């Protein structure tokens, strides 16, 4: 199919980067349509191992055009660092293979500062922000106080706009938080320095997508985070400030008139979650430690240890539904190989009742997990490349999950390397 979105079904970190890296070979254009440098995709390939926070994962593939859409928020300092790390490793990044939407919103140092100030004010009630300025900058977007990447192309307009936004912003920084204001001179020299580095890539991403589509090019939309972090449909307020849903992909890319035909939902063989908020199937103590170690569950952007637990069918079913997934890629199956029995959270108990539908976010914290187990396979499956060669117990687990979530599994990933997967026949 000509258009495809790869999206997270759960809390993020499902291994989307790895799936995009794999599928990008079949697509001509790869677009990131929401979020900023608050999450990371980890990609391992012939150039090395990279945590990509902003650059689309298709950047490693020759001939692929990579786009940061208007739904993203871009920190020019961070992005130029990412570009430098990749170009140092031999990856070619030019205006021919990388485009930043002129309508993408810029993250300034004052957004990062405000994120930290607000988390400190919230103290023990903090949202678990990554403190990259993402919530403040999306807030500005909806307050109509954002500065767009395209303004870098018009320095005099940018200067006047930045001056007026900063006057307004400093009111909050000084009067609400009692912190030091940001001077215009400091912000101007910052944007002059880092804006210059990203300027060659800025243009109308809608043109790139529409012209591409007209000439028969296929488009892959790459989401950050997962369905449960969606600002509208996620576990509010423990969510992101954007829409990681497939339905938002065309809007956040620059061409709202291009429909998504195929939606690959990425599900991890167990659950993980970064930051605060209800995480019903959570494991604690040595069981959690073992799973975290086995899966290397430490944040790609922040290095924070992730919360872990068994696969959560209630949350996953909800994620499949709101993403409109047409197929599933199940990742990290190899991580479960050490377990005698594979735990599964198949329902919740809420106010004395067993529920299978994902509860309303305001009462989610009251839900308790209901666990079951299936037999483990206790053998290393990381070298398996054919579905039929997976142990019967592994196939039983996959097929059980598939039935429960009501969506076909088409890829089973058994390792982080590009070729470490089986296609479901
Ligand atoms: P994303 O944000 O959804 O792309 O996920 P992350 O990059 O944060 O997390 C995925 C991590 O798991 C990365 O370190 C990947 O290299 C790794 N990974 C992905 N798929 C597999 C797999 O099937 N097995 C193993 N062992 N690791 C995997």
**What does the pLDDT look like over 95-130, one tens digit per residue?**
999 999 999 999 999 999 999 999 889 887 777 677
In a shared domain, residues 170 and 51: no
Tell me the CA distances in angstroms from 375 to 139, 171, 249, 331, 348, one per residue in order.
Answer: 47, 60, 39, 19, 22
Tens digit of each residue's pLDDT (9 = 90 or more) over 172-207: 999 999 999 999 999 999 999 999 999 999 999 999
Ligand 1, atom 26, lies closest to the CA of 415
Distance from C-alpha of 214 to C-alpha of 209, rounded to nearest angstrom: 9
Tell me the CA distances in angstroms from 166 to 139, 149, 153, 186, one per residue in order.
Answer: 15, 16, 19, 11
Give the model's pLDDT for residue 40. Answer: 72
* Count of domains observed in the chain: 2
Segments forming the whole domain that contains residue 242: 3-104+201-264
In a shared domain, residues 65 and 171: no
Rounded to the nearest angstrom, the gap between the alpha carbon of residue 10 and the centroid of all alpha carbons in its chain is 10
Give the model's pLDDT for residue 47. Answer: 87
Give the model's pLDDT for residue 301. Answer: 62
263-277: buried (b, 16+ CB within 10 Å) or exposed (e) per residue? bbbbbbbbbbbbbbb
Assess if residue 170 is contained within a domain: yes
Closest by alpha carbon to 421, among 369, 396, 385? 385
Ligand 1: lining residues by beta carbon, under 6 Å: 8, 12-18, 39-42, 44, 300, 331-332, 334-335, 413-416
**CATH number, domain at 19?**
3.40.440.10
Give the model's pLDDT for residue 80. Answer: 97
Assess if residue 214 is contained within a domain: yes
In a shared domain, residues 241 and 212: yes
Assess if residue 39 is contained within a domain: yes
Who's near 284: CB < 8 A, 6+ residues apart? none
In a shared domain, residues 8 and 39: yes
Does residue 375 contact residue 393 with C-beta atoms inside 8 Å? yes
CA 417 – ligand 1 centroid, Å: 9
The two tokens of residue 343 are 């735990």
Give the model's pLDDT for residue 42. Answer: 75
| Residue ranges of the chain with per-residue pLDDT less than 50 | none
In a shared domain, residues 100 and 25: yes
In a shared domain, residues 47 and 184: no
The strand pairing partners of 100, in sequence order, are: 68, 202
Structural domain ending residue among the three candidates 166, 198, 230: 198
Does residue 331 contact residue 267 with C-beta atoms inside 8 Å? yes
Q: Point out the ligand 1 atom lying closest to the alpha carbon of residue 20.
A: 4
Out of 416, 417, 419, 420, mutate this one to test ligand 1's pocket (max ligand atoms within 8 Å of CB): namely 416
Give the model's pLDDT for residue 300. Answer: 64
Assess if residue 43 is contained within a domain: yes
In a shared domain, residues 12 and 36: yes
**CATH number, domain at 169?**
1.10.300.10
Give the model's pLDDT for residue 275. Answer: 82
Structural domain ending residue among the three candidates 264, 286, 304: 264
Q: Point out the ligand 1 atom lying closest to the alpha carbon of residue 8.
A: 3
In a shared domain, residues 165 and 146: yes
CA 160 – ligand 1 centroid, Å: 44
Out of 34, 331, 334, mutate this one to test ligand 1's pocket (max ligand atoms within 8 Å of CB): namely 331
Give the model's pLDDT for residue 141. Answer: 97
């Amino acid at each position: 199919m000509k258009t495809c979105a790869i999206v997270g079904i759960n809390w993020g970190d499902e291994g989307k980067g790895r799936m995009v890296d794999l599928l990008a070979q079949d697509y001509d254009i790869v677009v990131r349509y929401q979020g900023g440098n608050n999450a990371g995709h980890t990609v391992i390939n012939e150039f090395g191992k990279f945590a990509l926070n902003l650059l689309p994962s298709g950047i490693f593939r020759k001939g692929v055009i990579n786009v940061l859409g208007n739904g993203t928020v871009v920190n020019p300092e961070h992005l130029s660092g990412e570009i430098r790390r990749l170009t140092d490793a031999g990856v070619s990044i030019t205006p021919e293979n990388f485009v930043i939407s002129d309508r993408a919103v810029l993250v300034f140092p004052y957004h990062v500062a405000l994120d930290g100030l607000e988390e400190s004010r919230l103290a023990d009630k903090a949202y678990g922000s990554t403190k990259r300025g993402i919530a403040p900058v999306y807030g500005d977007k909806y307050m109509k106080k954002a500065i767009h990447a395209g303004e870098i192309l018009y320095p005099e307009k940018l200067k006047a706009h930045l001056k007026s936004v900063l006057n307004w912003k400093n009111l909050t920084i000084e009067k609400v938080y009692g912190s030091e204001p940001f001077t215009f001179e400091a912000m101007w020299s910052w944007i002059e320095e880092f804006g210059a580095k990203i300027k060659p890539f800025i243009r109308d991403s809608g043109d790139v997508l529409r012209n591409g589509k007209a000439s028969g090019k296929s488009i892959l939309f790459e989401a950050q985070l997962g369905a449960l972090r969606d600002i509208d449909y996620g576990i509010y307020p423990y969510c992101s400030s954007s829409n990681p849903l497939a339905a938002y992909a065309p809007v956040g890319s620059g061409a709202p008139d291009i429909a998504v035909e195929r939606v690959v939902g990425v599900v991890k063989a167990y659950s993980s979650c970064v930051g605060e908020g209800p995480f019903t199937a959570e494991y604690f103590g040595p069981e959690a430690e073992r799973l975290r170690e086995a899966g290397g569950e430490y944040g790609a952007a922040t290095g924070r240890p992730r919360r872990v637990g068994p696969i959560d069918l209630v949350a996953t079913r909800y994620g499949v539904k709101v993403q409109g997934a047409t197929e599933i890629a199940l990742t990290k199956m190899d991580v479960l190989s050490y377990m005698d029995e594979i735990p599964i959270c198949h329902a919740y108990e809420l106010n004395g009742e067993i529920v299978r539908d994902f509860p309303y976010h305001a009462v989610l914290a009251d839900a308790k997990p209901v666990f079951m187990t299936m037999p483990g396979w206790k053998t290393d499956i990381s070298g398996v490349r054919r579905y039929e060669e997976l142990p019967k117990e592994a196939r039983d687990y996959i097929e059980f999950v598939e039935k429960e979530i009501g969506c076909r599994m088409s890829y089973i990933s058994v390792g982080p390397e590009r070729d470490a997967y089986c296609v479901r026949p």
